[in-house]
Structures are given as structure tokens and as C-alpha cells.
Structure 1
């Protein structure tokens, strides 16, 4: 079996892969350790042209080589801040109103992908399998093929794939989908995302799609190329999270929170500060709870942890200002001398600290407007105390909603409907909470992070590059 080469926009540091990171970092590092290989991508640093062109910085951790490069300011502005996060991210999350398209940014996006591919080619060995991650790197396989690379190349999209009529809002949509067709295997988070991609191929690229008859796999043909697609639902390691959450429940930060609540019920929300997460809508739903059910005033607190992200992108600055304004307005309506309804924390916390806070809460409030999967929902369930579990209130637009049938599903555009779900969760009897928890944990164990990783790599390794 050949080595594995993982390519992602950002490369986790060796320290992060030892447990402080989640999702992608934990999952792919496990596969890299098993097979040996390379993790290649951007270091996160903006550097001079001289440094950028010097070649990848290599760091060894056992059988894994971490290979990172820096980006120049121009490349960062066009590839990352520009086309990736000002065009692709909003459109793929159904926010065309927030999208911006600039030709020079798209040109920079393709240029950086080609440059990254060129840097990687020197590290590739004949038997290697290449696994590329997410929307920043859609043209990456096409660039590798132009360099003469014939190894199997897979791509996993961590965010939603939009319906064709949404995707058409990106002027070079056809070029992007044509680039995707250079991969041998494309993985999606949900069946809906896979169908949206197939729909585009059939309706706009005169392509063909045939089910393989094995699970949710399919073979697609378009632009003179043939590729495989599948649904691979990214997960977590639920028993590991449960153990860590229990271990941390007696730490000082948890004790401090419990003391400050003075017996009040706790609703926990944790998200990156992003307009796709439905944060403003969530605050307004909580306001509706306090307005429509006055018995909960002074008796329930919402803790919203929203670490800043992409703070140099205008739309992210706007959502931060709006969220701070809403928190202040709602707290102004319902606060008392000894009660603050919303605790809004615009800072980052250690992952295991968050798991222990989840365990102490009565409700996990996860209501994105659109999300590929949303691992916070899965982490919340896994962190619960089996003897006294909290209730997950989850958006129907999170990929996780298709798996977590024990959650209370809500439409994030319906503030009153969300407030009613919160009331139901707050009043839910223990027997029902336990039943819902067990249902969700069964789903988490069935499709944990290892299943996601191993099934994708098994399918990718089984493919042979077609001439």
C-alpha cells in the first residue's frame, strides 16, 4: 500500500494533531500515521516572495511529513480572502447577496492552486494516493494532471454543494465543475449535496450519472472525463469525547460556570463567528423564548461562544457588529441586577474545555442557516452525561440533521418555532431525554470519524486512474 498525501488549505501543526484539534486534523492524521505520508498546504503565514518561492518547510513527526508553504500578500488577498471566502463560501452557503466576484481574484485562485500543485509534485512518489480537502482547492487535481501526475486523486467537500441555480451565480461555474471532474473520487457530506452536483452535470454539462448499486456511490461522466462520487458523513469519536468531557467536569472553569448560574438552566452554543451559522436568528429566538414564556426570565441563560474568524473580510466584521448589537439589545430588555440572559464570548476556548461545558448544559442550540455537516452538534451529543443528558436543538439545514433523529429539528428562519423547541427541551422529562440521547449516540457510533476516513480512502484506493 502506497503512502497517503493529504492536501488542505491549512496544515495542522504536529501539536494540534495530538488532540487539541478536531474534525479534519484528527481524522486525517490518524490515516497518515497508519500509511505514512505527507500533509501539504499553507502554513497560515503571509510571507515575502523570496520566502514563498524557497520551497516547502518540512517537519517530521514519526512517519508523517508536514510540508508547508507561505503565501505572499497578493496570493492571500486573491486566493484566500478573495475568491475562496468572498465568492465560493457565500455562494456555497446560499448567500448570493453577500458574494463578490472579481476576475483578478479568480485568476489568483487558479494561479495559487497551480503554484501549490507544482510545489507538491516534487514530494509525490509513484504509489502515493492523494486526498485533497475543501473548496479552496477545487482546481488542484487539474493542476496536478497538467504537471503529469497520474496518481489517484480524491476530493472531499466539507461545505454544502449548492443547487445548480445557485451555483450559476458564480460566472466561471463551468470551469469550476470541469476542474472538479479531474478528480477520481469526490466525496460529499450529504446525499443532497451529491444530488446537486449530479444535477449540474446532467442539466448544464450534458453529462451522465449512473448509480453503482453500492450504497450511495455513483459514476459520472462529463467534459470528456469519468469520475466516482459518494456520500461520506464526517463524524467524531463519541466515546473519546464522552471520556474527556467527564474527566474535565470537575475542573475550575466548570465549577465557576455552575456557581455563576446559581441553579439556572444553561443553553450552550459554540460557532465560528460566521454569517452561515444563524447567530443573529438564534439570539432572536432566545428573545422570543423570554418574551413568550416569562416564567423562564431569570431562570435560563444562553452562553454563545463565537471565536473570531476571517476578521479582515468585511462581511465578517459586519456580522460581529450586528451580533454584539443584538446581544446588548436583548440583555437590555431582560437583564436584572443579578441576571444577564445572554453571555456572548467572542474568544477561542480549548476543545476539551468546551466539551465539559456541553456536559453541564441542558440544551445544545445549533442552528446554522446552511452547513455541510456541523460537528458541534455531534460533539454536543457525545459530551452528555448518559444519566442526565441535555437536548440538542438542531437546524434542518445542518448536514447532521439527517443522522441525529433524536434532536429537536427546527427551521432557523422561524424564531417562534425555535423558541417553542427551546421550551419543549427545557421541560422535557428525563426518560425522553435519555431515549433521544441513545438514538443519537447510536448514529454517532455507526458513522464515527474513523468510518468516514477509512471508507473514503478504501474507495479511493480501489480506483485506477483512467487513461
Structure 2
């Protein structure tokens, strides 16, 4: 029952990007790389080099667009064989079977990985933007490595465009690279710089808990265009700029004039490749995986199934969800034995104390709940941290009567959209946190819950299970229209159409200025 209403395609998105760039090189800069090279064997018995390709998410969506426009992607080379395949300029052409664009790798020392990535990015900016300042660890060495690594990324961008005939178009991704735009702007004043911030932007009182808030804003305001998922995040950003700098904020145009430069701030809700997700859900691989998984875990076709899929991150609300499920089984004993929850967790940022402790708590809570309610032939919570291919995840979504997507804070949350797109057979119900960015787009068709309201959350699960088939079909159809129409390619088109409009304004302004020799 998939609704394939797509407003954009890979081809149209690539055409929009190409129209902006014209004869200028497009450079995408991100922490994560689209391709990595790794040895098949162990370190002491290395075999052939294997290429890990983008399986999903932003890198998978951008890869075909980059192939079409033939630009450069600058990213951290974290594969153990990455150095073996690059040339003297630290660049390798990708994809390997039909090279279309350059991947320029930035090499990080162990100190940079610890300070820039594990430290400042994930122990300062991540908790700050997710409103959990108690987990912030703003160490001096973290900031030093973040600053130096951003300089390395900026220098790699500049090196990759030194031979270009005109100034590049550079698109920065996410919170890892907040400082790099300023260094690029100083070196290439006429470059077009854009930045998309993939996580929430906090209110100004929360943001100022970061000791380096002024420097972060200075870096981001070197861009011509800064994008966020929602209008709320845009307003928060403008509030922060107004409170912390001497910039002139124009609310009517949602722009900032700072250090002789104008930055536009816009919302671009990120989508998924919805058609691909629906195809995965209907694939033979999905059918085969589900048949094996359900048999292994004793899931009967008549059982009611709920699913949660996420990284084991404290922002995802896994502990709060388990508390609500426990309350639901306690309040609804008739559901024991026939209502099963599958939690697919992916271990994340192991070695950081907050994450290690969360992983331990989640495993312990699941064991306790299963001991409390489980029987010889029924396990209430099926828990796996195994790596699952895309078709397996799609099968989980497809078979689930409820998709529980209940973060305590999330910039967007694409799992909600993946679940909707995979509802290709009997329609399930999306149970969605009020605190997810996706609520702006999907809230009307979902059952909304507050993750911290345990009894209300349990009631929301009961409400979702009580919906009639007709109501479920209506809700899923409405949600699928939204998810397919506002997919990742529409996001790309919208971003670059806006960027093109901003660039036209820049050119017009430059042309209207008198030259230094004019009287």
C-alpha cells in the first residue's frame, strides 16, 4: 500500500546542483566519508582491500548526485587501507568501478580522534544541542583538537580547489565542522559556502553553556546559507546570534549581517530515499530474513509486534520506552504472550562513559523486564545489537504493527520516515515522540507521546493498538504521501534552489557596487 508521490529524483536534484555550480567545483565536506577502504584480513594477515560503500543515509543519497556533478568530497579517512589507495594529494577517485568524483581524505592523529571527534563533537556539542548540558565535558584539549582539525579540513578544501578556474561551492555537513567555514572564507572571499546542521539547535540560554559559543557562531556566520531541519531551530539560531554577537539580525528575511557578510538561515527538513525503502521492504531478501528471524525467536504470524531501531544513544529515549512498555504489560496482562517488542540497537561511541553506561543499563533493564513478564515460550523484549542489512531493517519495519520512535530529543529522526515508507502491506501505526523534529511533518498521522510521561506513553501504545484497520490505512496513506513527496532528493533540490537564489543576490550586489577606480 505504498504511495509513490515523489516531487524530485536523483536526476532533477543533480540538475539543480549543477545549475548552481555551473563552471564552479562543488565540494562536500563531512566527517564521515562515502567510501572507505579496508583490508579483508586481520592486521597481521592482511588480504585484499575491500571497499565499504554507502548503505543508507545522507552519504548514500549524495553519492549519485556527486557522481553526476563530478565534484570533490572531503572527509576523514578512517579505513585501515585508506592510505594505500590515495595518490600524492590524498585523493582517490570513486566509485572504484566507474570513477566520477574525487574523495579527498583528511588524516587524523589519535589525539585528534580523541579530542575532535570523541571529545568536542560528541561530549560537548552533541549533549549541548540535545539539551543535556550535564553530560558536557568541555576540556581544553578537546577544544584545541576540534579547532586544529577544522583547520585541517579547511586546508584540504582549499587544496582541492587551488587549480579551479573560479571560486568553489562548498557544502559543509553537521556539527563536526563549525569552524572550517571561517578559514575557507578568509582564504576565498568569493566562494559560496553553505552549511547544514543535522542535529537540533538549542535555545540561547542553553547554547551559552558552551565556553566557545562565540567562536562557533563566528565560524558558522562565514557561510552564505545555514540550514536546519525546522523553523524552531532557525529561530533559536537567530536568537543566539542576536544575544551573543554584534551582528544585525533581520527577522523578516531570516538573515544575519556580520563582519561585512550576509548569511541566510533557512529550514530544510531532511527526508529519506522513500522509494528505495519501500523496494527493500518488498524484496526477496527481506522475506527470507524475516522468515528466519521470526522462526528463531518464536514470533507467530498472529502475534502483535512493535519495533524500535536506533543507535544506543541517550537521546533516543530507549530507557523511557522500556519503562512505558513495562507499564503497558503491567496494566494490560491480557497482552502478555502475544504483544512482543523488538529492540534493534547499534552500539555507538563505545569508550565514552555516558554511552558505555547506557548500553549496560539497557541490557540490564531488558533482562529484568523479560524475567518479570516472560514465560517458557514467550520473550517480551527481543534484543539484538547484530549488524543487520538494509533489507532486514526494512523487514522489521514492514512486519511491525507499531513503530516506536520516541527520542527525548532529535533533530529530525529518519527512522520514523523509514518505518512509514516500509509499510507496504498491513498498515502499522507510528508512535512518535513529541520531542522529535519529525513531529512537524508526521505528527498529524502518528500517535504522539511524551517520552518522560510513562503512564501517558503506555496509554499511547494502547491507543495505537486499538485503531481500526480503516484508521490505520488512512494514517499510513497520509504519512506516505508526506514521506515520498518530501524525500531526500526534494531536500537536495530545495537546498540548492535556495542556495542559487542567495548566490544570485550576491552577484547582483557585487555588480551594483562601484569599482575602486570609479569616481
Please, which of 278, 281, 288 is the counterpart of residue 320 of structure 2?
281
**In the alignment, what sits opposite 1:193?**
233
| Separation (CA, whole Å) in 1 of partners of 2:409 and 2:261 | 30
| Separation (CA, whole Å) in 1 of partners of 2:500 and 2:323 | 48
Cα deviations across residues 143-171 of structure 1 (Å, max 9, x unaligned)?
21233463101000000001111111111
Measure how far apart 1:53 and its partner are. Answer: 13
Unmatched 5+ residue regions in structure 1?
none
Q: Is 1:58 matched with 2:92? A: yes
Distance change in 2, residues 1:250/1:187 (3 Å): closer
C-alpha contact 2:273 2:488 (8 A) present in aligned 1 = yes
C-alpha contact 1:236 1:379 (8 A) present in aligned 2 = yes
Measure how far apart 1:45 and its partner are. Answer: 4.6
**In the alignment, what sits opposite 2:255?**
219
Q: Is 1:3 matched with 2:25? A: yes
Please, which of 123, 131, 147 is the counterpart of residue 187 of structure 2?
147
RMSD, matched Cα: 2.5
Please, which of 161, 167, 171 is the counterpart of residue 131 of structure 1?
171
Q: Is 1:111 matched with 2:148? A: yes
Q: Is 1:89 matched with 2:111? A: no
Measure how far apart 1:348 and its partner are. Answer: 2.2
Moved more, 54-63 or 264-273: 54-63
| Separation (CA, whole Å) in 2 of partners of 1:148 and 1:208 | 23
Cα deviations across residues 25-53 of structure 1 (Å, max 9, x unaligned)?
1222232122210111102258999x999
Measure how far apart 1:343 and its partner are. Answer: 1.1
Cα deviations across residues 51-79 of structure 1 (Å, max 9, x unaligned)?
99975242333322122232110111111
What secondary structure does 2:34 align onto? coil
C-alpha contact 2:167 2:188 (8 A) present in aligned 1 = no
Measure how far apart 1:326 and its partner are. Answer: 0.7
State the TM-score, normalized to the length of structure 2. 0.84
Measure how far apart 1:237 and its partner are. Answer: 2.4
State the TM-score, normalized to the length of structure 1. 0.93
C-alpha contact 1:60 1:66 (8 A) present in aligned 2 = yes
Write out aligned runs for 1:283-362 (5 A): 283-362=322-401
Write out aligned runs for 1:426-445 (5 A): 426-445=465-484
C-alpha contact 1:154 1:183 (8 A) present in aligned 2 = yes
| Separation (CA, whole Å) in 2 of partners of 1:437 and 1:249 | 24
C-alpha contact 2:34 2:53 (8 A) present in aligned 1 = no
Measure how far apart 1:415 and its partner are. Answer: 1.3
C-alpha contact 2:281 2:395 (8 A) present in aligned 1 = yes
C-alpha contact 1:304 1:342 (8 A) present in aligned 2 = yes
Measure how far apart 1:14 and its partner are. Answer: 7.4
| Separation (CA, whole Å) in 2 of partners of 1:406 and 1:248 | 29
C-alpha contact 2:34 2:54 (8 A) present in aligned 1 = no
| Separation (CA, whole Å) in 1 of partners of 2:441 and 2:52 | 28
Measure how far apart 1:223 and its partner are. Answer: 4.9
What secondary structure does 1:319 align onto? helix
| Separation (CA, whole Å) in 2 of partners of 1:70 and 1:63 | 22
Cα deviations across residues 68-102 of structure 1 (Å, max 9, x unaligned)?
23211011111111111111011111111111001
Distance change in 2, residues 1:198/1:101 (3 Å): same
**In the alignment, what sits opposite 1:376?**
415
Moved more, 18-27 or 3-12: 18-27
Larger radius of gyration: 2
**In the alignment, what sits opposite 2:78?**
44
| Separation (CA, whole Å) in 2 of partners of 1:324 and 1:258 | 21
Moved more, 175-184 or 257-266: 257-266
Distance change in 2, residues 1:311/1:47 (3 Å): farther
Moved more, 161-170 or 341-350: 341-350
Q: Is 1:34 matched with 2:74? A: no
Please, which of 240, 254, 265 is the counterpart of residue 229 of structure 1?
265
C-alpha contact 1:47 1:70 (8 A) present in aligned 2 = no
Distance change in 2, residues 1:54/1:113 (3 Å): farther
Cα deviations across residues 6-38 of structure 1 (Å, max 9, x unaligned)?
110011217999985222112222321222101
Unmatched 5+ residue regions in structure 2?
1-21, 38-49, 511-519
| Separation (CA, whole Å) in 1 of partners of 2:80 and 2:120 | 17
| Separation (CA, whole Å) in 2 of partners of 1:237 and 1:95 | 31
**In the alignment, what sits opposite 1:246?**
282
Cα deviations across residues 161-208 of structure 1 (Å, max 9, x unaligned)?
011111111111111111110111000011111110011122232433
